Chain A
Amino acid sequence: MRYRYTAEDEAFREEVRRFIQENLDPELKRKVELGLRLDRADYVKWYNRLYERGWATPNWPKEYGGPGWTHLQRHIFDEECQLAGAPRIIPSGINMLGPVLMAFGTPAQKERYLPAIQRSEIWWGQGFSEPESGSDLASLRTTAVRDGDHYIVNGHKIWTSYAHFCEMLFCLVRTDPNAAKPQEGISFLLIDAKSPGVTIRPIRMLDGGVDLNEVFLDNVRVPVENLVGEENKGWSYGKYLLGHERTGIAGIGSCKQQLARARKLAATQRAGDSTLLGDPAIRMRLAELEAELLALECMGLRILSENQDLHTPGVEASILKVAGTELRQRIYELLLDIAGPQALPFSEEAVQTGLDPALPVEELYAAVAANTLDVRKVSIYGGTNEIQRNLIARAVLA
């Protein structure tokens, strides 16, 4: 075990830090640090800079155009991005579909889609959940029926992030309704979001955001070359994808960013003759969350280290997901309490830009309430935390 990073790792960190300093637009940084809403153009602006540097897909191996970083280098990169207020990597293409295509895609699919993901030319939406299939995903009912060189797809997907600015969707669809087990008749299809019969309807959420969508598929014709892997094996590809997603959605970097934000707000917010940092209750909550965050961060690093004692190998991603998402929610609750009544004035304008002259509060507080509401989603998506707990428990009780 080592406390210090090696000289190479430190040099790498310096390189990343310098790159971000030189390339991250200050207005974008401001939006990220204030928790304001970003649109596609904001993300693309940053991703293009990363692409020019060869860093657009940090977790991809060299053979697919990734930087081929070690686990530790990826950790350093994420950490520096988050500390500097860079936009997060939207996972659907880069962290979710990318690895699936690398493992199971045809040469033509790899050639066509992987470079387009890297260049942010094609954005992907995930079509897994359905109105009647949430945690019980295998019960999904969207069908794909073979018709010559095409599948005819009919169904209804929901909770598709960013579908309103996606070019493509990756979907789990039922290709064999008579399979012995519900998991066995499912296939993994790539669907052009502009195909006739695809209707996308944004869903307005608690925080006023519209990043999530319903997707209606009505006799959509999908070429058979858009099937990933084998027909009826889609369930295992979906599981592979979610395994990649879960480690990322622990959100360690986001926790760090938001706890630093809470500290800064507490130091700014007056309370009597002092600031809220002088309030023992607030300070204790900050300290407790910092200790837990350090535990989470070390857990993340430990998983990347060799020869670890893990009591239940195989469920570390689930452990990280539950611990990380619940910690993040508690950090936002603290942020809300620190903001106090300043979190009450609310307008769409303020959440978008931080500025609304009609509101009696500074930009620091503009998005605190919206962010606190939005983060309730993290214990629901990517397999609810209850499902994760089932998996974790099964590892010792089965």
Chain B
Amino acid sequence: MDFSLDQEQLALRDAVRRYCEGTYPAHERGNPEGPELAATRWRGLADMGLLGLPLPAELGGSALGTTEIMLVSQELGRSLGGMGFVPAVVMAGQLLAEAASPDISGAWLPRLAEGHARLSVALSMPEARGDFTRPAVRAERRASGYVLSGHKAFVLEAERPDLVVLAARTGAADGDPDGLTMFAVNTALAGVRLVPYRTLDGRECAQLHLDTVQVDTSALIGNPGEACGLMRLTADRGIAAWAAEAVGAIEALIDLTAEHLKTRRQFGAPLARFQALQHRVADMLMRLEMARSLACAAAVAVAEAPDSERRRFIDSAKGYIGKAGREVGNAAIQLHGGMGMTEECRVGHYVKRLMVLDQLFGNATDHIERLAARIAAG
């Protein structure tokens, strides 16, 4: 592998960093966004060209790759910004561009890129821990299309998305990778009900209830009954981008902690003079650079590696970075002392975001277990 970055990629990173510094003021990071602010910032991401980043040019996108997604996600992670970017663009957007009917991709992706539509994904249930074979929605074939019924607990990072990508069972039983079918469901359809709520990082989320919702065949993504691979790829793209987002958050926590240790004085000296604290900071930095290395590897693997290799990189990245995020978060709170426990201090907001990222699509332990199962299988 070669992780070299070119000048255009560096320029994109720097532009997004500047944008985030202006858009997400340091003392407000992590505060919940009301609907108006969320909408303004969504359009802001569109104006930066980020909502079309990986989409084909003919659909209003810039056709950039996973390296650019990684760099952007990292900057968004540093500023706790970009709500909706990963589910809408990295997961739903790329999937629709590749596997949806022209009706759907042609209608929705240009609007996504312009910031006029909110998209989301609903892939995971609370008890599923990254097992995508239990979708909790059934789809029955009808002459004109499909009828969907069921429930999704996590419509990610959007309260009222216009379009939700989800999987349903069209055959076989739960636990079976066959018989899964993906749909793009317009939330304006009869029988669709969204119940908004917030996750612990203050971000938008929703439950989705589907009560005999009729969709026509253009809502199909990929081939009926064969969605498992597509879902896995979509999830892995999300995991790779979240890995980069977590790296950005870890980096921000280290900056906040270093600043605090240099300014806060006890026993007549800055805290930075105390070796016990220095060594905790050194461990945080080591975790950061190792995590960033795996985030890079996950990004290239998602783009280029064969399936089995991709799984190894994704499981390793999710497993390592989940744990690294927790360790750095815990250390950052500890080194900030009592202030680290307050709502006013931004440290806790980064910690909460890292907690959410760890638990999405299977946490660190779940992914290490998957690696372990493959080791046992030889």
Contact = CB atoms under 8 A, between A and B. Distances in A.
Contacts of A171: none
A291 B4 contact: no
B22 to A, nearest CB: 20
A287 interface: yes
B5 A311 contact: no
Nearest to A301: B1
Contacts of A323: 286, 290
B3 interface: yes
Interface string B251-275: 1001000100110000000001001
A284 interface: yes
Interface in B300-322: 300-301, 303-305, 312-313, 315-316, 319-320
A397 B5 contact: no
A310 B291 CA distance: 12
A164 interface: no
A323 B289 CA distance: 10
Contact of B254 (A72, A299, A396): A396
Given A284-B369, A290-B316, A393 B278 contact: yes
With most chain B CB atoms within 10 A of its CB, the pick from A4, A287, A395 is A287
A11 interface: no
A68 to B, nearest CB: 19
Interface in A307-334: 307-312, 315-316, 319, 322-323
Contact of B3 (A4, A5, A302, A392): A302
B294 A397 contact: no
Interface residues of B, number: 55
A5 B369 CA distance: 29
A295 B315 CA distance: 12
With most chain A CB atoms within 10 A of its CB, the pick from B1, B272, B282, B288 is B282
Given A280-B372, A287-B371, A305-B4, A397 B261 contact: yes
B304 A2 contact: yes
B143 interface: no
A155 to B, nearest CB: 30
Contacts of A294: 294, 297, 312-313, 316, 320
A397 B3 contact: no
Contacts of A301: 1-3, 293
Contact of A308 (B5, B313, B373, B376): B5
A394 B288 CA distance: 16
Contacts of B369: 284, 287
B79 to A, nearest CB: 15
B296 interface: yes
A296 interface: yes
Interface string B36-71: 000000000000000000000000000000010000
Interface in A129-185: none
Contacts of B375: 263, 277, 283, 286-287, 290
Nearest to A296: B290
Contact of B320 (A267, A286, A295, A394): A295
B27 interface: no
A39 interface: no
Contacts of A10: none
Given A287-B369, A287-B372, A1 B4 contact: yes
Interface in B356-376: 368-369, 371-373, 375-376
A5 B3 CA distance: 11
A10 B44 CA distance: 44
Nearest to B285: A392
A25 interface: no
B127 to A, nearest CB: 21
B74 to A, nearest CB: 8
Given A2-B300, A263-B375, A392-B282, A298 B258 contact: no
A185 B293 CA distance: 41
B221 interface: no
B271 to A, nearest CB: 9
A1 B299 CA distance: 9
A72 B4 CA distance: 12
B190 interface: no
Interface of A: 1-5, 72, 263, 267, 277-278, 280, 283-284, 286-288, 290-292, 294-296, 298-299, 301-302, 305-312, 315-316, 319, 322-323, 386, 388-390, 392-398
Nearest first, the 3 closest Cβ-Cβ pairs linking A and B are A393-B278, A3-B304, A287-B372
Given A291-B319, A307-B10, 5 more contacts: A291-B315, A294-B313, A301-B2, A309-B292, A389-B278
19 contacts: A1-B67, A1-B299, A1-B300, A4-B304, A267-B378, A291-B368, A291-B371, A294-B320, A298-B3, A298-B297, A299-B290, A305-B5, A306-B4, A315-B285, A322-B286, A389-B278, A393-B285, A397-B258, A397-B278
Interface of B: 1-7, 9-10, 13, 67, 74, 251, 254, 258, 261-262, 272, 275, 278-279, 281-283, 285-286, 288-294, 296-297, 299-301, 303-305, 312-313, 315-316, 319-320, 368-369, 371-373, 375-376, 378
